Every structure is written in structure tokens, then in C-alpha cells.
Amino acid sequence: MLTRADIGVIGGSGLYSLLDDAEEIQVPTPYGPPSDIVTVGRIGSRSVAFIPRHGRDHRFPPHRIPYRANLWALRSLGVRQVLAPSAVGSLRAEHGPGTLVIPDQLVDRTSGRAQTYYDAGHAVHVSFADPYCPSGRAVAIEAARSNGWETVDGGTLVVIEGPRFSTRAESRWFASNGWTIVGMTGFPESVLARELALCYTSLSLVTDHDAGVEAGEGVTHEEVMKFFAQNVTRMRTLVADTVEALPTEPTCPCGSTLDGLDLPFELP
């Protein structure tokens, strides 16, 4: 039975079939249980831990996901690189449904979410200028393009609180700032990964144009889920190919994020 993993995947239930030799593990954390039981298995020669972001029964809305527990659980299993597939809305007319965006920047428009591990003891200031792993991004882009997937290299993901979608005015404001896509789960997931010195790469599948981009009745949850389900096989292939191509010994700066900092506790 596998009890360790090199790579973590946080995503939807359609990704379960990724793993061979899969085992389920209960992983306790100081922040409560993760979204669900962690599944550990293999993709080729790589050991992988999978967490369904919203829970198997989709019981956690975006603002209630136990983000801190999820990332802590992955690190405690040995994970040092994380892939995060998700559904997003496009703020750009030219990036329609089916486009894959590998963002390189992020804007936080959430409120009230626990977004740090370092909220007691003493202040710890972690660099977050570039939120995503440069190595993971490059590998994901190459894997997607080699499979013929229209892929946007870079762009800004704006994360909203949810669970409601944007108004047209909000959507137009986001676009006017030059931002590219909008989602509900990319923060604090990304910053918590950074606070644990984990590589983190977002695989953002455009499922719709956001409300301010085109006329109509606006985005619905049913449409988003239906489109993502139609593309889940493609996303599984991308995740698997990216996992196998990720470096076994990362040379990116993510792992040295905490070097020289006085942490108030020991990391798992």
C-alpha cells in the first residue's frame, strides 16, 4: 500500500480514474479533515495523491472548502508538486469554451476565507509575486499543446468569493483591468501551497464566457458542470501527461520559498 506521494492533484470527481493501484487514506491535519478521503496511487512511475476539491458528493461550496487541510494533507504525504485543474469563465471574447489557460498571475477578490497557516505566534511574510510554479507551467503547456489543445500561455486568474457568479458590471470591470479568466477556487489554494513551499500549477479550462463578455442570460452552474464533464477525458489525459513529465528533482524557486524564515511551527 502506498502511503507517500510525490505529486498532488486537487480536482473534480471525474479524475478518479487517473490512478492505478489506488488506495484510500484518511489523513488527519491540525486544520480538520480534508475535503474527502485522499486517494493515493500511480500514474506511470510517479506516485500521486488525489483530493476531490469539493468532496465526492460536491458538498463543499467554494467558500467552504477546507483549503488548509487539503494542502497540509498533501504535504504530509510527501507531495511537493501540485496540479490544480478547475473550471473557469473567460473574460476575453477570443478565449471561448474549450480553451485551456495556464495562468501566471492571480488577483484575490475573496473575503473571509482562511488564507494563511501563519496567523498565530509571530508574523511570517511569504513572497507571492509570482503565484505559480514556472516549471510546472512550462510542462503543462507543452503537454497540452502536444495533444493539440488550444492553450493560452499566461494570463491573470481573478478569484471571486462565490458561490454566486459575477454580475455583468463586475465581469466588465474585471476585463477592463486586463484580467483573463474568473474562478472561485484558485485562492487561497495557491497561496497555501506557497506557504508550504509546494510547486502549484493551475490548469484552467474555460467552460463559458463570463456574464459581461456576451449577451444572454448569464452563466449557470448546470452549463459549467455539463461542459466540464464533456471535457473530463481530455483533462485526465492532460493531468496524466503533465504528471509523468514533471521533474523528479524540481529546480524552480518554489521549494526554497521558506528558506531563512523563522516559522512558528514545524512543517510536515
Active site residues: 208, 210
42-56 in b/e burial notation, b at 16+ Cβ within 10 A?
Answer: bbeebbbbbbbbbbe
Segments of 71-188 assigned E as strands: 81-90, 100-102, 105-109, 151-153, 156-160, 181-183
CA proximity to 242, closest of 22, 40, 85, 17: 85
**Cis ω on the peptide bond leading into residue 163 (within 30° of 0)?**
yes
Angstrom distance (rounded) from CA 104 to CA 115: 19
Q: What share of the chain is helix, strand, coil (3-state, %, to 5)?
A: 30, 25, 45
**Cis ω on the peptide bond leading into residue 253 (within 30° of 0)?**
no
